[in-house]
Structure formats: C-alpha cells, structure tokens
Chain A
Amino acid sequence: MARKKPVKTILSALPDKSSVDTESSKWSRRRFVRNSTLLTFATALGMPIVNGTKLPYGLHPVALESGNVPFSIEGKHSDLVLLNDRPLNAETPAHLLNDDITPNDVLFVRNNGLPPTDVDPETWTLTIEGESIEKPIELSLNDLKTRFTPYTYQLTLECGGNGRSEFDPPAKGNQWSTGAVGCPLFTGVRLKDVLSYAGIKTDAVYIGYYGKDTHISGDVNKTPISRGVPISKAMEEESLIAWSMNGEDLPMQNGYPLRLVFGGWPASTSGKWLSKIVVRNQIHDGAKMESPSYRVPCKPVAPGTKVPDEEMCIIESMPVKSLITYPKTGGILHTKKSLTVRGHAWAGDLEVDKVEVSIDFGATWRACHLKSPANRLAWQHWSVDLSFDKEGYYEVWAKATDSKGSSQPMVLPGWNPKGYLNNACHRIALKVKS
C-alpha cells in the first residue's frame, strides 16, 4: 500500500505547462516517457521526487544509485575511498601508493562531469584550433600514433584540492585527504609537436582543452570542465597528449582514450576524454578557469576571509609534498625491531632536494635516502631505517624540501577559500610494544 500511494500522488501533482518550460506541446511523448520514468523512480525510492518533473532528461536520481551501499569502480581497486559517486571522485589510501610507478587500478579518480559512454577509438578525433592556430586540424588516434614521435614519461598528477579535508574553517568541495595523487607512466606524443604541426601564432598565450565528458545536470549546453595551461607549460617536453598509462590503454575513469598530462600542475589542467585543444591569445576562459575555481588568494589571507574573485590567482605549479606509503598507519611494532619507512616526494615543476622524518613530533629530524626522479616531473622515492627504544605511541612525520629551499609545513599551510594546496607534512601513527 505504501508503495502505491506516492505513485498516485505524483501523477496528480504533475505540474502545469508553465513549470515545464522545456516542453512546448501538451501532447508531448517526452513528457509521457518522463512521467513513466518518474513513476519508476518514485516506486523504487518509496517516495515521490519533489520537483521531479524538473529533473533534466536522462538524469537518474542518485538516491537510487548509492549511499552507503557498497560501490565499485570498474578497473579500480576496491579499497579506493569513494568521496562522491556523481560525479565520481575516489582517492587512494597512502599505503596503496607504495609502488614506485602507480598501477592503473589505484590512480585516483577526479571527475567533474560524467565520462562518455560510447567511446570508439577508431572514430575518436582530436581537433586543434583557436585564434592562435595557423591552420586548424583534425587528427585521428591513429594519426597521432603514426605521424608523431611517441614518448613515455613518469608524471606526477595531483588534484589541486588534495588535502582539502584538513582546512579550518572547512572548504567546500570533495574532501580529499592525501590520496588525490599518483605517478604512473604515460605514453603519448608531445603537445608541442602537435601544436607546431598546426602552426602556433606568435600571439599565443594559453591552451585550453575540451573533453567528451558531460555536465552532471544532463544539460548538453554546459561544459563540466575546460581548463588549460600557459603556452610555456604546453611547450615543455614532458607535456603529453597521452593514450596509454603503464603500457595499457588509459583506464576509462582516467580519460580513455585520450588525455592531456601536465606533470606537477593541478591535475585539472590535464584534460580527460580529450577531443579538442584550443590555442588562445588570452588566458583560456573555459569552465572552471573562472574565479574561484582552482585559484588561491593572490596575497595570503587569515582563515575564513572572504576573498573577492578578482583577488584570486590561478594555481600553476603544485607545492613540495611527500607521502609515507609504508607502513600503513596504525601499525604495532615490537621494540628492538627496526622498521624501514618508505614513501615518495614531489615538488611541482621543481625537484625534491631532501626528505626528513621525525618520530618526536617535529623536535628532531632524520635525513632519508632520496632517489633521483625517473625523469623530470616524476615523484622521487625515499626510505629510512628507524628503530624505537621505548614503548609507546609514535607518529612518523615526513617533510620534503624542494630545490629552491621550500619545505612542507608541519601545520596547515595558508588557508584559502577553496581549500587548495594543502602540503602539510604527512603523518602516520605507530605503537611500539615490548
């Protein structure tokens, strides 16, 4: 009985024509289909959907999809932490990032929209155009693979909002802890080779990308995200148009079949499901280029300050940071046993000069063994042997310093309204027993 009532109610509660402005005809077949669909939704939910008739076409209420119900992402490790299922956002626990090269199944997912559902690599094309391109071109995947020299680099991708969950007052958005980072091997062609092929005008300032993902509202006129980088970053040797990750096709959620990769910059610049690149004679003005997205106050502000849009500056290179990937936090160790602590460190466009750890809450620091990066913009591996003489509770803190002398802060770095760039040192908890 309880199921039938709302079904009846929603039929009688259908709005008049004026509230369904997208439909012109009373005899709309679409309305008929929509009403039937809403009935199905209402039945499944056990309640009607308020304003359901205003739901964009093709949109399924998330309430039906998942809540605390177990959720898995195809091709991804089941221990990834799901932050949001529409759009999909999932981060990697630190201990799953212990590999030198991040495997495909553990690289984090940060979607702004919904990935395309009908990808055909045979017909996929990439268009190069924009006011600062000499001759616009369209290339197939095969063109890219055969006409240009492919390169493989290990590149660090980190979401600009990685670490957001720690800010106080809290910042809005997906509450990433430490896991929106990874460093896989990407194979593709150099962006500069492709842009040069199409001819770059001397007034070029910025590049912008467009992908085949769609806005979560279902509105086809809305672009979920279209960001980019200054032409100088675009022309770097490691800036790739990539089709492969660790020797395999890109995972679906990481941009299959084609994406940009700009190591060391907010990963939002590395457009996924790439279909078009525009070369601009101004700073690109696509979706989420505007303030306050991916921007921080041009001048430092006190926590909680309201910052006008025009006083927010675009994030470029990411700051120096490190992760402890072994052991997993919460380990219990026996005294007299030594422990090798391992992790990675990276520094945006720069290199990491040193990594130190502390087991006494920052009072003393011990230098770690640090390897050189596999290539520019790849993260670096560090390790250190520790032993604990006394029983008790310990925290291991890791602190990296970049080639210009900047270190990770032990407390949160400068507060910013959107909660970007938290590079406070990573900490894990350990207990030592005799």
Chain B
Amino acid sequence: MSWIREIKGLKKRVRFLQLSAVLLLVCVCLFSMNTPKTPKKVLRPITEQYHFAEDPNDLFEIREGIEVQSGLVAKGDWLIVKQTCTGCHSSKLITQNRANAEGWAQMIDWMQETQGLWDLGANEAKVVSYLATYYAPEETGRRRALVVDDWYDIE
C-alpha cells in the first residue's frame, strides 16, 4: 500500500506549491505597486519638483535668520543647500567654513571626484551662489581680536 501513501504525499506537495505560487503572486503585485511606471527626471529645480506648503519656511523653525535644525542662514536658496549637502555630511561642515564662489565650487568638485557626490545639475550654481554669499571669507589679517563670550570673576 506504499504507492497510495506516495500519491497522498504528492497531493500535499502540489497543494503546497499552489499556495506558494499564490503568495509569490501577491508579493509581486505589492512590489510592482511600488515601482515607477514612467521614468522621472531626477535633477530638476526644487521649486518645480516639490510643492508642499505655501511658504516652505513655515515648516522650519527659524530664529534670528538661522534655521535651527541645520544652523544655516535661512535666506536665498538655503533649502536647496540643506537638501543637497546634509544628505551625506553635517551642516556644520558648511557653517564652520568660509570661501568665495571659486573655493566652494572646488569643494563640490572634490566631493564629486573623491566622495561620490552626484552631478548637481542646475542646482550647483544656486548652491555655490548661496554659499559664497552667506559663507564668504572675512579678512582677518595675521591675528584677529580676542572675543570673550562670558566675563567671570577670578576667585
């Protein structure tokens, strides 16, 4: 009677395969829903690509002209800068540095050549212009004046 048992076993296996196939189909459907139907251009000016508030500044806490989260000067194309630059590194790397347009462009080139930064397209000019405007070098000479934040009494 062993052949009867074999047929029963075979039936079980077929049913299992059917179930697996259905599950697979469901998975495939789920994934395809998440797959883009038409190719989209990745690099477009942010203003065209996303509209998520009447005034984007409403979404951010800005104190005395500085966006609190990033510490960036909240003027001009700061949002593009925040989105482009803070994906890979801290905004502190921006706010602590100073350079003219040429210097900032060189830093972008260096990041593209060695650090895997992508082509910024039309945004590059905006990023460079923002940085050269709000993070421009100041002439400090061979030694600048000491700045004291808090005077205190020496006991």
Contact = CB atoms under 8 A, between A and B. Distances in A.
Interface of A: 2, 5-6, 9, 11-19, 26-27, 29, 31-32, 35, 46-56, 59, 61-63, 65-69, 82-86, 165-166, 168-170, 172-175, 216-217, 219, 222, 327-333, 337, 339, 395, 410-412, 424, 427-431
Interface of B: 28, 31-32, 34-36, 38-40, 42-43, 46, 49-53, 56, 58-60, 66-71, 79-80, 82-84, 86-93, 96-99, 103, 107, 115-116, 118, 123, 137, 139-144, 146, 148-154
Nearest to B68: A68
Contacts of A412: 142-143
Nearest to B143: A411
B33 to A, nearest CB: 10
A84 B142 contact: no
B140 A52 contact: no
B83 A331 contact: no
B151 A330 contact: yes
Contacts of B144: 166
- Greatest chain B CB density within 10 A among A46, A69, A333 is at A46
A41 to B, nearest CB: 9
B40 A51 contact: no
A429 B148 contact: yes
A395 to B, nearest CB: 6
Contact of B84 (A50, A216, A330): A50
Contacts of B139: 168
Contacts of B150: 330
- Greatest chain B CB density within 10 A among A12, A35, A62, A410 is at A62
Contact of B87 (A19, A49, A174, A411): A49
Given A52-B87, A84-B96, A86-B90, A431 B151 contact: yes
A61 B146 contact: no
A69 B69 contact: yes
A424 B141 CA distance: 13
B88 A59 contact: yes
Given A2-B53, A84-B96, A332-B152, A15 B42 contact: yes
A6 B140 contact: no
Contacts of A59: 87-88
B69 A67 contact: yes
Given A62-B90, A170-B99, A67 B149 contact: no
Nearest to A287: B114
What 5 pairs between A and B have smallest CB-CB spacing? A16-B39, A411-B142, A330-B148, A67-B69, A63-B86
Nearest to B45: A50
18 contacts: A11-B34, A13-B40, A16-B38, A32-B34, A54-B118, A63-B86, A67-B68, A69-B69, A82-B92, A86-B89, A166-B140, A168-B141, A170-B137, A172-B99, A172-B107, A330-B152, A429-B146, A430-B154
Contact of A219 (B38, B116, B143, B152): B116
B70 A63 contact: yes
Nearest to A27: B31
A429 B140 CA distance: 18
